[in-house]
C-alpha cells in the first residue's frame, strides 16, 4: 500500500481502519478481519472503550509489531499535562503495547464553558511532546481541530495529523487547505458519511461511470485530495470493497465536481458547540 510521510518522518498507509463502535458485538473479530483484508493502520481512542479488544486482535493476528501501526486518543476528561501523561499509560496498558504510533488530542475543547480552554490544550500538548521524547508515542497530532484551534499551538511542535470529519458534502476545505499549508496530514473520520450520501445523484452517476461503488468513490475522492480515510465497517465484504478505492483514480474535473457538492451528510458534531441533532443533511457551519 502507498504511504504518506508525516512531518516528523513517520510513514503511514494512505488508508486506515477506524474502530469506533466496531467491537461492540463481536469483540476483536472485526479488527482481525480488517487485518486479514490488508489494513495495517488501526485507529482507536480511550473514549471508544475498545483498546483492549484492539490490542487482543493485534496479538492474535501474529503480525510483528513493525508490521502495523496503532493510533489512539486522549479524551476530553483526560486533558491537562499530568492527566494526559497518565491517560497515555492507561491506553498503552489496555492495548498491551510499549508505544503507540500516533497519539491525538480527541477534541480541542473538553468543556465548552471553559474560558481557558486554550491553556488546557497547550498543557495537554506539552504532555504529548514529552510522551514523544519518552518514546511512548512516535507521532503526535489532534482531532477535530479547526484552524483557530490549531493556532493555539503556534510556537510549539507542529502536529503531524489532524483527524476531522471529512467526506463528500462535508470535506471542510478551509481546514484541509490550512493543514496542507502547514504540512499537517488530514485524516478523515466518517469518510463514508455513515451512508448518508449514498443516494446523491452526482456520486451515483460518477460511480456508475467509473464502474465502482459510491463508498469506493468517496474514499477515492479523499485520496485524490491527499487525505487519509479511516473507514469503519464490521463486514468482511465491505472491508474488501473499501480497499478497492486504491485501484483506480479520478479525473481532475470529477474531483472538482465532488468538491462543489451542496453541503450534505454532516454528522452534526462540531468542536465549538453542542451536537446538532437532525437528519445529517443540514448545512454545516463553514469550517
Instruction: State the pLDDT at residue 276.
Output: 66
Instruction: State the pLDDT at residue 51.
Output: 98
* pLDDT, mean over the chain: 95
Catalytic residue among 48, 103, 170, 178: 48
Q: What are the grid coordinates assigned to 42, written together? A: 488501526
Question: Domain-by-domain residue ranges, the chain?
Answer: 3-190
Instruction: State the pLDDT at residue 77.
Output: 97
Instruction: State the pLDDT at residue 277.
Output: 56
Instruction: State the pLDDT at residue 284.
Output: 56
Residue 281 has pLDDT above 50, yes or no: no
Residue 286 has pLDDT above 80, yes or no: no
- Is the distance from CB of 236 to CB of 266 less than 8 angstroms? no
Instruction: Kindly list the distances between the CA atom of residue 2 and the CA atoms of 13, 14, 39, 49, 94, in Å, as whole numbers in the listed order.
Output: 6, 6, 12, 30, 30
Crossing angle of the two packed helices 214-224 and 236-243, in degrees rounded to 10: 40
Q: In whole angstroms, give the CA distance from residue 279 to residue 276.
A: 10
- Is the distance from CB of 238 to CB of 248 less than 8 angstroms? no
Confidence of residue 280 (pLDDT cuts 50, 70, 90): very low
Q: In whole angstroms, give the CA distance from residue 165 to residue 191.
A: 7
Q: In whole angstroms, give the CA distance from residue 30 to residue 23.
A: 7
Residue written as grid cell 489496555: 94
The full DSSP string for 190-223 is: STTGGGTTTT-HHHHHHHHHHTS-HHHHHHHHHH
Q: What angle do CA 132, 41, 101 make, to 5 degrees?
A: 10
- Residues 217-226 have a mean pLDDT of 98
- Residues 236-259 have a mean pLDDT of 98
Strands 228-229, 11-13: parallel, antiparallel or unpaired by DSSP? unpaired
Give percent helix, percent strand, percent coil of the chain, each to the nearest 5.
45, 15, 40
Confidence of residue 173 (pLDDT cuts 50, 70, 90): very high
The overall pTM is greater than 0.85:
yes
- Residues 188-192 have a mean pLDDT of 98
Instruction: State the pLDDT at residue 109.
Output: 96
pLDDT per position as a tens digit, 113-154: 999 999 999 999 999 999 999 999 999 999 999 999 999 999
- Is the distance from CB of 140 to CB of 129 less than 8 angstroms? yes
Q: In whole angstroms, give the CA distance from residue 169 to residue 265.
A: 6
Q: In whole angstroms, give the CA distance from residue 122 to residue 124.
A: 5
pLDDT per position as a tens digit, 76-123: 999 999 999 999 999 999 999 999 999 999 999 999 999 999 999 999
Instruction: State the pLDDT at residue 274.
Output: 80
Instruction: State the pLDDT at residue 237.
Output: 96
Domain 3-190: give its CATH superfamily: NADP-dependent oxidoreductase domain (3.20.20.100)
Q: Is 48 known to be catalytic? A: yes
Amino acid at each position: 500500500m502507498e504511504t504518506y510521510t508525516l512531518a516528523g518522518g513517520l510513514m503511514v498507509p494512505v488508508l486506515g481502519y477506524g474502530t469506533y463502535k466496531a467491537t461492540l458485538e463481536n469483540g476483536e473479530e472485526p479488527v482481525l478481519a480488517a487485518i486479514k483484508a490488508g489494513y495495517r493502520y488501526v485507529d482507536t481512542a480511550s473514549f471508544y472503550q475498545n483498546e483492549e479488544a484492539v490490542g487482543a486482535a493485534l496479538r492474535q493476528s501474529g503480525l510483528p509489531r513493525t508490521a502495523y501501526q496503532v493510533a489512539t486518543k486522549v479524551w476530553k476528561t483526560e486533558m491537562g499535562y499530568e492527566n494526559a501523561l497518565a491517560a497515555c499509560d492507561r491506553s498503552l496498558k489496555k492495548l498491551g503495547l510499549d508505544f503507540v504510533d500516533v497519539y491525538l488530542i480527541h477534541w480541542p475543547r473538553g468543556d465548552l464553558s471553559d474560558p481557558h480552554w486554550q491553556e488546557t490544550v497547550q498543557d495537554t500538548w506539552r504532555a504529548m511532546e514529552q510522551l514523544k521524547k519518552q518514546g511512548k508515542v512516535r507521532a503526535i497530532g489532534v482531532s477535530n481541530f479547526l484552524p483557530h484551534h490549531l493556532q493555539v499551538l503556534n510556537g510549539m511542535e507542529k502536529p503531524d495529523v489532524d483527524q476531522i470529519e471529512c467526506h463528500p458534502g462535508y470535506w471542510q476545505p478551509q481546514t484541509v487547505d490550512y493543514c496542507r499549508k502547514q504540512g499537517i496530514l488530514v485524516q478523515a473520520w466518517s469518510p463514508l458519511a455513515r451512508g448518508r450520501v449514498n443516494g446523491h445523484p452526482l456520486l451515483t452517476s460518477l460511480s456508475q461511470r467509473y464502474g465502482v461503488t459510491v463508498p469506493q468513490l468517496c474514499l477515492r475522492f479523499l485520496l485524490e485530495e491527499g487525505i487519509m480515510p479511516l473507514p469503519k465497517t464490521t463486514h468482511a465484504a465491505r472491508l474488501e470493497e473499501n480497499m478497492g478505492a486504491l485501484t483506480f483514480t479520478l479525473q481532475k474535473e470529477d474531483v472538482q465536481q465532488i468538491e462543489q457538492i451542496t453541503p450534505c451528510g454532516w454528522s452534526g458534531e462540531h468542536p465549538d458547540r453542542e451536537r446538532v441533532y437532525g437528519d445529517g443533511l443540514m448545512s454545516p457551519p463553514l469550517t
